[in-house]
Amino acid sequence: MEKRAFVDQLQREVSIPNPPKRIVSLVPSLTELLHYLGFEDEVIGITKFCVHPEVWFKNKERIGGTKSLKVDRIIELKPDLVIGNKEENTIEDISDLENFVPVWMSDIYTFDGALDMIRRLGVVLNSEERCEKLISQLRFLFGELESIGKDKSVLYFIWKEPDYLAGDETFIGSLLEKIGFKNACEISRYPALEELTSVTTDYVFLSSEPFPFSDKHSAYYQSLFPNARILLVDGEMFSWYGPRMLEAADYFKSHLKSQL
């Protein structure tokens, strides 16, 4: 089978059969993208966290968690393309896999980085036209959302005990800014709340994932930030890149905007 060299988002050159026929996805968002692009037969393995689409979650072989992959089983499946992510997967697992199978890595921490991933994978998968259409839709839809936050500040919590936040250089932080908010957490990546000093904020967002925040947690954060509005938000809308961003745009425009 003919192979072509592609450059992934870590700037690594990866030799992949053209087109790939046996694909393993190590990332929930990318599994959803593969479904959106119509790779029903080609996808032969997904993680236990790849819950969308539900029919794939029920019927596709699960090859462990994003950070606890069944490396030996993936190799046994003989994929001609494994798709991973720098943040979601461990260096050890990826290093073990790439000794045996082609591994294309994504690295997404901005809105534009998500679009770049879609474009690059579109080339790898011979789905350029469909991916370019998705990119155009996302640029248009998010272009209409830039005033939602109205330059108000927000803290976005992803975990409790300890309290972790989505800071700078994260996809979540980039989406917050894309829809007009100012991220009150200016520390890079995912710092603990105790790392912030004298922070004030207009809003506190409590995410539904990875920690399942609920109404019972609101009073605690209200006590920490008495002048802020505490809102429960759908974490998938802020953290899943790919076609879920279409749904996210509608969520921001309707549901979130009505709460502000």
Cβ proximity of 88 and 66 under 8 Å? yes
Beta strand extents in the chain (DSSP E only): 3-7, 13-17, 23-25, 43-45, 64-65, 68-69, 81-85, 103-106, 153-159, 164-165, 182-183, 203-207, 229-233
**Do 9 and 106 fall into the same domain?**
yes
Q: How many H-runs (helices) and E-runs (strands) does the chain carry?
A: 11, 13
The domain tally of the chain equals: 2
- 190 inside domain: yes
- What 8-state DSSP symbol labels residue 195? G
The size of the chain, in residues, is 260
- 245 inside domain: yes
Residue type, 235: G
**Do 160 and 105 fall into the same domain?**
no
In angstroms, the CA 24 to CA 21 distance is: 10
In angstroms, the CA 227 to CA 23 distance is: 49
Of 68, 31, 25, 59, the residue nearest 240 (C-alpha): 31
In angstroms, the CA 9 to CA 120 distance is: 8
Cβ proximity of 102 and 14 under 8 Å? yes
**Do 75 and 7 fall into the same domain?**
yes
3-state SS class at 109: coil
- 131 inside domain: no
- CATH no. for residue 180? 3.40.50.1980
Segment 122-161, tens digit of pLDDT: 999 999 999 999 999 999 999 999 999 999 999 999 999 9
pTM for the complete prediction?
0.96
- 211 inside domain: yes
**Do 100 and 166 fall into the same domain?**
no
In angstroms, the CA 167 to CA 192 distance is: 10
Segment 200-239, tens digit of pLDDT: 999 999 999 999 999 999 999 999 999 999 999 999 999 9
Question: How large is the average pLDDT for residues 167-175?
Answer: 97
Question: How large is the average pLDDT for residues 80-97?
Answer: 98
